[in-house]
Amino acid sequence: MTLPADSPALPFLPFARPTIDEPMIEALADTVRSLQLTSGPQVLAFEQALSEYHGGRPARVVTSATAGLELALMACGIGAGDEVILPAQTFFSCANAIARTGATPVFVDVDLDSRNLSLAAAAAAITPRTRALMPTHFAGLPLDMDALYALARQHGLRVIEDAALAIGSRWQGKPIGSFGDIASFSFHPNKNMTTIEGGALVFADPAEAAKVEQLRFHGIRRLPDGTRDVMMVGAKYNMPDVHARLGLAQLARLDTFNARRRLLVDRYFERLAPDAFGLQLPLRGDDGHSWNMFAPLLPLARLGRSRKQIMDALAARGIGSGVSYEAIHLTTAYRHLGHGEGSFPNSERIGRETLTLPLFPLMRLDQVDRVCDALEEILTA
Give the catalytic positions in this structure: 191
Give the Cα separation of 76 and 380 in Å (integer): 51
Q: Which of 44, 135, 151, 126 is nearest to 94 (CA)?
A: 135
Give the Cα separation of 258 and 122 in Å (integer): 30
Helix (H, G, I), strand (E, B) or coil at 289: coil
Chain-centroid distance of CA 145 in Å reads 16
H or E segment and range at residue 294: none
Contact 351, 306 (CB under 8 A): no
Contact 185, 202 (CB under 8 A): yes
Question: Residues with Cβ < 8 Å from 372, sequence gap 6 or more?
Answer: 268, 271, 272
CB atoms within 10 A of CB 152: 18
Q: Is 140 left (phi over 0), alpha (psi -120 to 50) or beta?
A: left
Question: Residues with Cβ < 8 Å from 117, sequence gap 6 or more?
Answer: 86, 87, 108, 110, 111, 133, 135, 136, 143, 148
Give the Cα separation of 128 and 107 in Å (integer): 16
Question: Residues with Cβ < 8 Å from 335, sequence gap 6 or more?
Answer: 329
How would DSSP label each residue in 68-130? HHHHHHHHTT--TT-EEEEESSS-HHHHHHHHHTT-EEEEE-B-TTT--B-HHHHHHH--TTE
Please give the sequence-ordered ranges of beta strands (E in DSSP) within the chain, or none if there are none: 59-62, 83-87, 104-108, 130-133, 158-162, 170-171, 174-175, 182-186, 199-203, 220-222, 228-230
